[in-house]
Structures are given as structure tokens and as C-alpha cells.
Chains A and B, each alone.
Chain A
């Protein structure tokens, strides 16, 4: 499949090192920009964001799977660095994390994998705060962020780090030009919402429903309400937690999201496949389905940001 084929009509060619949305962004030491993630989502709107756990069932397989997702149309790829106590995850990702830990996945192995990967899609690391703190001799976030920047990661998501506790990580991410993505939950409202939205960079991760990660059969109404609360904030919004099918992606994009995040449904494929080759084919096909579903959502019903204000008589 030619990479041109999977872009929504009119989309710009991707180059995650250069923003092309006309916004001014600080140029990093490596020549990149402050937010390749935000630029990527805006350029590929609606963006497909995929998650897999690194090391499930081995780092080698993860490399093949990530490349398959990249070919299939993922615009951003989250890689989970496994932590033994994943309190935000449901059974599917918990099991993937256990498999990865049993396979001996370490932070260094993880970073080496990222270093080795050549994807068009920018990569983000998703992990828990203790893993960030312990990479280095003392409990300090900086060595982790430094290494993340070195291997070319574009951003970090830490589900157990609320905005209130994020100052040290925020500072380190700013210093190294990494985005720090925050989750907005169905319970996030009022002042908390403002605090988070003032901290978000890259995109706002809109949690589709209360609870943990895990593929579901429907799109929660909480998604629509959350997107409405966020409508006035000028940051890309991507919806995750429970998305498993192209039709969900359509519905989510119709509701106003700029991106769709899928994890557990991909892990299910990895866990069910007889071998890596089968997994690779199925993941690529799944990514294509999800991306097409998302693009379908840009048809009727989706608010067009460039449309002139409707005239009222």
C-alpha cells in the first residue's frame, strides 16, 4: 500500500519534524519543533492514534507491529512502557503488560526499540509515574525525559499524574521539546478543566467513559458531553477508552473529535494471532479500517471549523 492512499483527501504530506499548520513553534536543538504531535493531528485530522504495549509478547514483535500500524494509517503511535501496577488499565492491557514484563521488558530495552524504529508517525510513550521517576539513580524525572528525547519520542502520557503534580515533568518536557499529554475524564469540569487545558500540549486525551481501558461495543454518551465541554479550547482533542471499530471512530469524529485512540482492540489482535506475520497483517488491516472509519466521520454532521458563522435572520 502506498502511503499516499491512506491520507484523507486534501491532507498534507506528513513530516513530523516540521509543522505545516502555519503556527509558530519554537525550534528545538535537533531542528524539530515544539509540538510535532499537535501539527501531526492538525494535518491528518481526523487522526488515528494507536496504542500497543512494548514487549508484548517481545520487543521484536512490537517493532513489527508498530511498523504495521504505521503502514496501516496510524498517525500517532503510543507505546506502553510496562509498569507492574497499571491501575488505569482494564484486563486486556493489564494482560499485555504482564506478558511484556514476563518477557523481560526494561526501560532501556524500550528506549532501544524506539531508537530503532523508523515510522512516519511520531511516537509517544505511555507509562506510569514511578517508571518515569526511577529511570536514573535518584527519584527524578529528568533522566527519563532526556533519554526519551534522545531516542526521538515526541511526547509522554502518564495516566496517574494529574496536572496538580505535573510541574517537574512539565518543566523537563519543555526543556527537551516533548509534549505532555493530559487526560480529560468525564468527571473533569469547571476549574479543573481549565487547569488541565492550560497545561495540555500536543492534544487533550478525552477519556470516553469512566473506568479503565478496554474495548467496548459502543460509544459512550459521555464522549459527546466531554467533547462539548472542550469545544472552545483550541487544542486537538482525541478520544480513547473503549474504541474498537471503524464505526465508533466515525461516530467520535462526527461528535467533533480530531483524533481517535485505539488500544485494547489492537492488543486483542496481537493476543489472538497465531504468529507475528498474522498479527502484522491483521493490525495493518485494522488500522486501515479505523482510519477509514474516522475519515467517514468528517462527512455529514461534523462541525466545520472553517465554515462561516451561520447567519441568523
Chain B
């Protein structure tokens, strides 16, 4: 079945909603109104300006590239959607540019945002500089330390970066702190949330800004390969990269009804496009209930229903309802929640959640770098880890979304590679000058 996107509806099946402090409710209503007018109805030419800026400032459309070495290695057609070539180096700019522009149309005077891997923060800082908006970004201390290049980039673009020390000092804590800022400044400030998470209308708004990834992919693959792919693979943290890539394919499902109709009906069955959301399996899928620790961020695969950051969704939580500290080698996937739409699509069986651990992701990182000359973000590397493990089950024509480039992750990769014996890795000791 299709995703429920009646736009006024704040929920996706059992998921979604608006669970926020009362002070923020009027701002959400104002945003809903702006979403309907500007995004859905293109009032004042908002969407035209957005698309134009994505093209000229952002560098869209991004290529869909046939990956020759991977195709050879797996003996099937592998295509890469190159969101790493978008300005800033990740898909995050689609949403950041859309929201900062929307904030301008709404007459807001200031932007706040949270960031995990730093790519959303970077994209927001760039969009804010481009559109002349003051911008403040919250980032967990752990992430500040493991994503230094992005901290520098944000500051270069004039954004203020506020480290957050609470909890495991990662994305979850950064979101908490941004919500607190927003609750204080809501009258003139817009919160540019970085994924398809948070209260309605954020999950729909962010998805619509990211949907360009799948729309382009759909056209490009039909042009280049002559048909729709058998499988589309994308990594999932909060889920903006997955929903952006999947949205244009959600309805491409061979329905039982069509399958049972015989050919005389004249209707040909739809092609079925498998949708795979690759989560961070971390070091293990086992959960330490007692200490409320998840050594992974595989929310869709192992989470349970609850409310976090404004929405009913799947969460990594203890039986009592305390949110767990999650883990992933990649900062951008290290989150105990996930977007409500993705939870719904998993619940209805349309999207298949899978997970890949830190080590397989690191191998994916090295493999893609060596074979294709593309250094992927550690987030993206999870998708390549999954491709390596499961290509045999994914059909003959596979698209992988390269959500971002990996320059930001080099230090982490060297450090983590040194600790392990990875088959796909180069000899990292030479990096120390030996």
C-alpha cells in the first residue's frame, strides 16, 4: 500500500503526531500553514525559487552513475545516486535549503538546528549564509570531537556551534537542546530539523524537500537502464535519506490484486521495487536493558513504539520508557529514534529494515573508495556493507544512494580501522608516516 500522505493528516498510520510543549504548538500551526501554502500550493512561487536555488546553488540534478567495478564484482547492474556531489557533500542540503528559504518566506529572523554527523549543520550554515539568516547550531560534544572538519565548515559560514554535554552527547541530546532554544525564541526563530523526525508537519515537510532524490533517480534509471530498479538501498539514521530516495517508489509495488488478474485484463502488473533501509547495527544488536544501552542504532529493526522528540514512532527504549543511549561508528546514524513515516512503512511491510554493523560499514567504506574512486560518508558506507552481504537477494538492477561524501570521516575511519583487521582496508599504518 501507499504511504499515507494526506497532507493535513499529522499521522502515518499509528505513527507521527505532535507531542511538544504547549509553547511550541502555535509555531507548529504556523508551519503547517506555511507548508500548505508555499510547499504544496507554490504560493508566491516558493517551489520555483527552491528548485532554481537547488539547481544553481546546490548543483542539482546529481548524476545517477553506473558503478562498473561494483557491477562486475556482484555480477549485476549497480547504479549510484550521487548525493555526495550535491553542494556541501550530502543530501542534507535539499532539506536545509528548503527550510531556510521557507523560514524567510514566513518572516522568521533566526535559524536554529541540531546536527549529528555535522552534514545537516553544514548544509544549514551554508543555506543560512546564502540566504542571509543568522544561524545557531547545537551538536553533541562527542560529535563535535569526531566531526571536526564540519565544525570548522559551519563556523566558516558564520554559524555559531554550541556543543552539548548531556547524556552520550550525540544527536539525541543536540535535538533536546535545540528544542529548548526554540521554546525560548519561537516567536522569531525557525527550527530547521535535520531529518524526517519531530512533530507534524516536519516529517512531511522534510520528506517533500528530500523527495527530489527519488524523483530524479526514477527518471534517470528509466532513461539509462530502460526500467525501474529491482531494489533501492539507502542508509537510515532519522530517515530523511531513505524517505527522500524511496518516496517516488513507494507506489511501485506489485499488488496482490494485479498479480492475480490474468493477462486478458490488459493490465500489466506494476514492477516491484524493493526498498531497503540500512540501519547501524553498531557492535551488536543485543541490548543492555539494565543500563539502558543499545550498542547499535537499529531502531526500525529492534525498537518499540513510543514518543520521542514530538512524534509517536519506533524507539530504542527500556521497558520503563527511558530512551537508550545508542551507538554507531557513524555520527549521522547514531540516534535512538527514527521518522514516523518510515516506522509506518516498515510496519506495513513496504520498506524492509536491515542492519549492518560498524565493521561491515568500515569495509564498505574502504571497498567503495578503492573500487570506484568515491570516498563515501560512514553513514553511506552502511549501505555498501549491506550490498556486499546481500546483493544475491536484491535482483539484477540495484540503486544505492550515496548520501554523502566521507571527507568528514577520515580521522574516525583511520582510528577505527587501526583497531581492526579489515579485509577491504589499505595498510593504515603508512598514514602515520611509517
**Which residue of A85, A88, A130, A192 is within 8 Å of B25 (Cβ)?**
A192
Chain A positions 195-217 with a Cβ under 8 Å from a chain B Cβ: 196, 207, 210-212
Given A160-B307, A211-B184, A212-B183, A88 contacting B321 (CB threshold 8 A): no
Whether the Cβ atoms of A90 and B180 lie closer than 8 Å is yes
Q: Does A162 contact B (CB under 8 A)?
A: yes
Q: How many residues of B contact A (CB 8 A)?
A: 39
Residues of chain A contacted by B186 (CB below 8 angstroms)? 187, 210
Task: Report Cα–Cα, A131/B24, bound state, in Å.
Answer: 21
Given A130-B321, A185-B23, A84 contacting B184 (CB threshold 8 A): no
Whether the Cβ atoms of B25 and A162 lie closer than 8 Å is yes
**Which residue of A83, A87, A182, A187 is within 8 Å of B321 (Cβ)?**
A83
| Contact residues of A: prevailing secondary structure | loop
Task: Report Cα–Cα, A196/B319, bound state, in Å.
Answer: 31
Q: Does A64 contact B (CB under 8 A)?
A: no
Q: Does A173 contact B (CB under 8 A)?
A: no
Q: Does A230 contact B (CB under 8 A)?
A: no
* CB of A254, distance to nearest CB on chain B (Å): 24
Task: Report Cα–Cα, A131/B315, bound state, in Å.
Answer: 13
Q: Does A107 contact B (CB under 8 A)?
A: yes
Q: Does B305 contact A (CB under 8 A)?
A: yes
Given A133-B306, A192-B25, A210-B187, A85 contacting B323 (CB threshold 8 A): yes
Task: Report Cα–Cα, A231/B18, bound state, in Å.
Answer: 28
Whether the Cβ atoms of B185 and A83 lie closer than 8 Å is no
* CB of B316, distance to nearest CB on chain A (Å): 11
Measured CB to CB, the nearest residue on chain B to A132 is B321
Task: Report Cα–Cα, A98/B292, bound state, in Å.
Answer: 13
Task: Report Cα–Cα, A231/B170, bound state, in Å.
Answer: 44
Task: Report Cα–Cα, A106/B321, bound state, in Å.
Answer: 10
**Which residue of A131, A164, A210 is within 8 Å of B23 (Cβ)?**
A210
Task: Report Cα–Cα, A280/B21, bound state, in Å.
Answer: 32
Whether the Cβ atoms of B172 and A85 lie closer than 8 Å is yes
Whether the Cβ atoms of A85 and B176 lie closer than 8 Å is yes
Chain B positions 307-328 with a Cβ under 8 Å from a chain A Cβ: 307-310, 312, 315, 317, 319-323
Residues of chain B contacted by A211 (CB below 8 angstroms)? 23, 180, 183-184
Whether the Cβ atoms of B20 and A85 lie closer than 8 Å is no
Given A84-B167, A210-B187, A134 contacting B22 (CB threshold 8 A): no
Task: Report Cα–Cα, A98/B322, bound state, in Å.
Answer: 12
A-B CB contacts (within 8 Å), total count: 115
Q: Which of A90, A134, A161 has the most CB of B within 10 A?
A: A134
Q: Does B374 contact A (CB under 8 A)?
A: no
Given A87-B21, A165-B17, A131 contacting B183 (CB threshold 8 A): no
Task: Report Cα–Cα, A148/B19, bound state, in Å.
Answer: 22
Measured CB to CB, the nearest residue on chain A to B306 is A130
Q: Does A94 contact B (CB under 8 A)?
A: yes
Residues of chain B contacted by A162 (CB below 8 angstroms)? 18-22, 25
**Chain A positions 168 through 183: 1 when the CB is less than 8 Å from some CB of chain B, otherwise 0:** 0000000000000011
* CB of B337, distance to nearest CB on chain A (Å): 10
Task: Report Cα–Cα, A144/B166, bound state, in Å.
Answer: 28
Q: Which of B22, B172, B184 has the most CB of A within 10 A?
A: B22
Residues of chain A contacted by B24 (CB below 8 angstroms)? 187
Q: Does A122 contact B (CB under 8 A)?
A: no
Residues of chain A contacted by B422 (CB below 8 angstroms)? none
**Chain B positions 293 through 314: 1 when the CB is less than 8 Å from some CB of chain A, otherwise 0:** 0000000000011111110100
Q: Does B248 contact A (CB under 8 A)?
A: no
Residues of chain B contacted by A164 (CB below 8 angstroms)? 18, 25
Residues of chain A contacted by B292 (CB below 8 angstroms)? 84
Measured CB to CB, the nearest residue on chain B to A162 is B25
Task: Report Cα–Cα, A84/B326, bound state, in Å.
Answer: 13
Whether the Cβ atoms of A207 and B22 lie closer than 8 Å is yes
**Which residue of B17, B184, B308, B315 is within 8 Å of A210 (Cβ)?**
B184
Residues of chain A contacted by B167 (CB below 8 angstroms)? 84
**Which residue of B166, B315, B322 is within 8 Å of A83 (Cβ)?**
B322
Residues of chain A contacted by B27 (CB below 8 angstroms)? 187
Q: Does A101 contact B (CB under 8 A)?
A: yes
Task: Report Cα–Cα, A233/B185, bound state, in Å.
Answer: 28
Task: Report Cα–Cα, A41/B136, bound state, in Å.
Answer: 42
Measured CB to CB, the nearest residue on chain A to B26 is A187
Task: Report Cα–Cα, A90/B176, bound state, in Å.
Answer: 11
**Chain A positions 92 through 108: 1 when the CB is less than 8 Å from some CB of chain B, otherwise 0:** 00100010010000110
**Chain A positions 59 through 90: 1 when the CB is less than 8 Å from some CB of chain B, otherwise 0:** 00000000000000000000000011111101
Whether the Cβ atoms of A85 and B309 lie closer than 8 Å is yes
Residues of chain B contacted by A90 (CB below 8 angstroms)? 180
**Which residue of B22, B176, B185, B317 is within 8 Å of A87 (Cβ)?**
B176
Q: Does A159 contact B (CB under 8 A)?
A: yes
Task: Report Cα–Cα, A184/B23, bound state, in Å.
Answer: 8
Task: Report Cα–Cα, A182/B320, bound state, in Å.
Answer: 24
Q: Does B273 contact A (CB under 8 A)?
A: no
Q: Does B250 contact A (CB under 8 A)?
A: no
**Chain A positions 235 through 273: 1 when the CB is less than 8 Å from some CB of chain B, otherwise 0:** 000000000000000000000000000000000000000
Given A94-B166, A187-B27, A129 contacting B187 (CB threshold 8 A): no
Residues of chain A contacted by B187 (CB below 8 angstroms)? 187, 210
Chain B positions 266-292 with a Cβ under 8 Å from a chain A Cβ: 292
Q: Does A276 contact B (CB under 8 A)?
A: no
Whether the Cβ atoms of A188 and B317 lie closer than 8 Å is no
* Residues on A facing B (Cβ under 8 Å): 83-88, 90, 94, 98, 101, 106-107, 128-131, 133-135, 139, 159-162, 164-165, 182-189, 192, 196, 207, 210-212
Ranked nearest first, the 8 interchain pairs of A and B with the lowest CB-CB distance are A134-B321, A211-B184, A185-B23, A84-B322, A185-B22, A130-B307, A139-B305, A183-B22
8 A-B residue pairs with Cβ-Cβ distance under 8 Å, sorted by A, are A94-B166, A159-B22, A160-B20, A160-B307, A161-B19, A165-B17, A185-B21, A187-B22
Beyond A187-B22, A187-B23, A211-B183, 5 additional contacts (C-beta under 8 Å) are A130-B307, A135-B320, A188-B23, A188-B25, A210-B183
